[in-house]
Amino acid sequence: MPTSRCLRFTAGLLSASSLAVILLTISDPSLAQSAIPQHPSAAVIDPAAIKFANQLIKQMTFEEKIGQMSQIAMNTDDRKGVEVGIRQGKVGSLLFLTDPVEVNRLQKVAIDESRLHIPLIVGFDVIHGFRTIYPVPLAMAASWEPTVAETAQRMAAREASSVGIRWTFAPMVDIARDPRWGRIMEGAGEDPYLGSRMAEAQVHGFQGTDLANPDSILACVKHFAGYGAALGGRDYDSANISDDQLWNVYLPPYKAAVDAGAGSLMTAYMDLNSVPASGNSFLLRDVLRDKWKFNGMVVSDWESVKSLTTHGFSANDHDAAVRATNAGVEMEMTSHTYRDELVSAVQHNEVKLTTIDDAVRDILVAKYRLGLFSHPYVDVTRSTTELVSPAQRAATRKAATQTAVLLRNEGDLLPLRKAPTSIAVIGPLADSKADTMGSWSLAGHPSDTVTVLAGIRNRFASTSEIRSTTGVEIERVQPSIFDAQFSSPKPVLKTAAERKTEFDHAISLVQSSELTVMVLGEVQSMSGERASRSSLSLPGEQQALLEAAVATGKPIVLILVNGRPLDISWAAQHVPAILEVWYPGTEGGNAVADLLSGAANPGGKLPFTWPRNVGQIPLYYADNLTQIPDHPDDRYWDGSSAPLYPFGFGLSYSKFTIANLNADATSFHVNGQLPVSVDLENTTDVPGDEVVQLYVHQRSGSASRPVRELKNFRRIHLNAHEKQTVTLTLRSSDLTFWSPLKHEWVTEPGSFDLWIGNSVQAEAHTQFTLLR
């Protein structure tokens, strides 16, 4: 049996008591390690894991230690020699391997043929699903319900682990306040409080209640830190972040993920204040290890160690390996500076052997916590029942309805209570499977996917005549780095005449149909890594198509498929119904049909401030008061400075009132808390969800504080005409901030404003005093 090989080497390394732990693992995996509470903290590591790793490290050669610090990408030429490298103990991890039979075969080489039989850890970018694709992370944040994100990532972990993947490079928790940045779709938007709650939820979803369970995978929080603040929204560009913004805005979601128990963390590509993140000891040692007490493992991003030289930070590969290792990068992703240079670096006392041992220990402990030493192989039959199962399809369909945001609904055009006699479904994204899935769907199969057109046919074909055409085609101007792995359909219209004929055909369908659903936005390669934009306009001729459709006078529903806010200022005035569905995933089309028909009621809210145009960027709600605070919306002489839609905004088919704000007291003490309640009422016959949001403002202190800051929220479901008293609790710790004047964390007594409502424009207001 494969397990006997593991026992053969552990028996020579462990004491009788430690060996008993391993034997117990084999007989009952649920008893493998000491009792771990639900969603364990990263600060709590089983001492047996550390003891096990330490004893194993004593048996390792230096080359074997460096091997554990090396990850090989199986979609590169390095795969050709990987089996030899595994056999020689020179490989610790594999990337981009999804065949469970091949995972087991290579794992068997590690277990049976390497000297110390140390198992591999297989990683993959499980960002918003594996084979079954879920709404993108920005959409999950738009649910304003952490359990939506947790459930999606739990289901993703079940699928990924069924093929032998035990490590994901997610969640991405980078705050993004510039929607030109392509990777905004991978995060939770602009707000550190909402971002922190979503970070925690995703860590819990991936890792489950016990990492040793075979359906749990190790989370990897990325990209540490400040990657979302790239200048100009240009991916990989430098980030220059003040101490105030770094501590109060950009770092909190990472800290929340660490506190939630994240087992690993990934460094970022870019310079942070002129020091590359992968060589930044302030981030990786001072903050992560010393202040936060993180004891998981740290991995570089793709070749970001080698790229320290590209940045002009290190002199060469040798210097890059030394500086990254000393800064705290423990595993190198894909490049080989560690493998080629660290032996010499230790010999010349440029890197301490204890630093290497510390890195290897964290890697071995991660593998131990995952149960890989006792159960290194995946049950290859699991994937046959887990991948794209009915349960997976039901879960992603529900998630897609919960993440949609209704932006406009004039005249209550939606839902379609009576099926139209004919529906035109128009747009380049209406029947594009890949673009329904979204970027980072690398293991997904487009053939599994239900497009918006297919979903509408599934829902309405028995009652309505469904007509469809693209109208226009869109294509990314520059190729995507992921085109070879996952690409959108290419345009087929080659001439201007062909394009005009198609455009006119689309408008003729609009004219002859009772209702038109326009499905517009961005192809999936327009969002994600290396997918930054200089404009937020609808790509191609989509705007012209939309305006021509509206000009017919027929009712139009605009479905937005995208990963960032787009310039829809014209649509917001002229299109009666606008539904943001993001990249909704495998069951996206059925979910959209559920929302159009009223089988589901949109309840999502925006996780960012939606600008009117690109000239307003950066635009976010939590700015400071200015010299003229009474005129926040006319800061430009040639146009409004107000957002098109505010942070936290989203409509519903239901109507809600929020009234009778009541705080339990007018003051409370530091280390105390203040419960605040409101009456929430659904005034319609339609059951629905509302998100009750609590904001505060500190009136004075050691620093100017933002005009409003989100400090609590709750998504509530109410039946028709139901009324409920909703209580949100504000803790004094929620008022703590890093003071740029005092250079420390402070909780300052004084006067505060508090609002509760359904967006950042909440009107229900009270005041309170924080006492010492």
Residue keyed to tokens 């869109």: 474
Q: What is the pLDDT of residue 588?
A: 98
Exposure b/e, 27-45, CB count within 10 A at least 16 = b: eebeebbeebeebbebeeb
Average pLDDT over residues 48-74: 97
Query: Does residue 556 carry a pLDDT above 80?
Result: yes
Half-sphere exposure in the Cβ direction for 184 (13 Å, CA): 28
Sorting pLDDT into bands at 50, 70 and 90, what band is 627?
confident
Reduce the secondary structure of 416-475 to three states and give it as a string. CCCCCCEEEEECCCCCCHHHHHCCCCCCCCHHHCCCHHHHHHHHHCCCCEEEEECCCCCC
CA distance linking residue 224 with residue 298, whole number of Å: 10
Q: What is the pLDDT of residue 626?
A: 87
Q: What is the pLDDT of residue 725?
A: 98
Peptide bond into 139 cis (omega under 30): no
Residue 301 tokens, joined = 């991003």
Sorting pLDDT into bands at 50, 70 and 90, what band is 259?
very high
Q: What is the pLDDT of residue 567?
A: 98
Q: Name residue 215's amino acid.
A: D
Query: Does residue 595 carry a pLDDT above 80?
Result: yes
Peptide bond into 415 cis (omega under 30): yes
Among 236-240, 618-622, 630-634, name the one with the lowest average pLDDT: 630-634
Q: What is the pLDDT of residue 628?
A: 86
pLDDT mean across residues, the chain? 94
The model's pLDDT over 394-427, given as tens digits with 9 standing for 90+, comes to: 999 999 999 999 999 999 999 998 999 999 999 9
DSSP string across 136-170: PHHHHHHTT-HHHHHHHHHHHHHHHHHTT--EE--
The CA-atom distances, in angstroms, between 266 and each of 197, 205, 491 are 19, 18, 37
Q: Quick one: which H or E segment has residue 264?
A: strand 264-267
Query: Does residue 190 carry a pLDDT above 90?
Result: yes
Half-sphere exposure in the Cβ direction for 133 (13 Å, CA): 32
Q: What is the pLDDT of residue 682?
A: 98
Sequence-separated (6 or more) residues with CB below 8 Å from residue 355: 325, 326
Sorting pLDDT into bands at 50, 70 and 90, what band is 632?
confident
CA distance linking residue 93 with residue 10, whole number of Å: 20
Cβ–Cβ < 8 Å for 157, 461: no
Q: Quick check: helix, strand or coil at residue 500? A: helix
The CA-atom distances, in angstroms, between 529 and each of 303, 433, 727 are 15, 20, 40
Cβ–Cβ < 8 Å for 681, 742: no
CA distance linking residue 322 with residue 306, whole number of Å: 11
Q: What is the pLDDT of residue 631?
A: 83
Cα maximum dimension of the chain: 82
Sequence-separated (6 or more) residues with CB below 8 Å from residue 678: 658, 659, 660, 661, 662, 692, 725, 726, 756, 764
CA distance linking residue 670 with residue 768, whole number of Å: 13
**Residue 498: what are its φ and ψ, rounded to 5°?**
-65, -40
Q: Quick check: helix, strand or coil at residue 718? A: strand
Query: Does residue 16 carry a pLDDT above 70?
Result: no
Which stretches of 581-687 are assigned E, i.e. beta strand?
656-663, 667-669, 673-682
Please give the DSSP secondary-structure letter assigned to residue 691.
E
The CA-atom distances, in angstroms, between 465 and each of 378, 450, 548 are 48, 19, 22
Query: Does residue 23 carry a pLDDT above 60?
Result: no
CA distance linking residue 220 with residue 171, whole number of Å: 6
Residue 82 tokens, joined = 């990987």
pTM: 0.94
Half-sphere exposure in the Cβ direction for 54 (13 Å, CA): 9
Query: Does residue 42 carry a pLDDT above 60?
Result: no
Cβ–Cβ < 8 Å for 558, 570: no
Helix runs in 297-450, H state only: 307-310, 317-327, 337-347, 353-369, 382-386, 390-403, 433-437
Residue 469 tokens, joined = 């055409």
To the query of whether residue 301 is one of the catalytic residues in this protein, the response is yes
Cβ–Cβ < 8 Å for 689, 603: yes
Query: Does residue 14 carry a pLDDT above 90?
Result: no
> Which residue of the set 301, 362, 431, 435 is catalytic?
301
Q: What is the pLDDT of residue 40?
A: 58
Q: What is the pLDDT of residue 45?
A: 83
First-residue to last-residue Cα distance in the chain:
64
CA distance linking residue 743 with residue 67, whole number of Å: 41
CA distance linking residue 222 with residue 231, whole number of Å: 18
Q: What is the pLDDT of residue 15?
A: 33
Sorting pLDDT into bands at 50, 70 and 90, what band is 770?
very high
Residue keyed to tokens 């290579």: 106
The model's pLDDT over 509-546, given as tens digits with 9 standing for 90+, comes to: 999 999 999 999 999 999 999 999 999 999 999 999 99
Q: What is the pLDDT of residue 7?
A: 34
Q: What is the pLDDT of residue 273?
A: 98
Please give the DSSP secondary-structure letter assigned to residue 109.
I
CA distance linking residue 575 with residue 671, whole number of Å: 50
Q: What is the pLDDT of residue 27?
A: 31
CA distance linking residue 557 with residue 550, whole number of Å: 10
Give the residue from 601, 557, 652, 590 showing the smallest Cα distance to 436: 590
Q: What is the pLDDT of residue 39?
A: 63
Sequence-separated (6 or more) residues with CB below 8 Å from residue 504: none
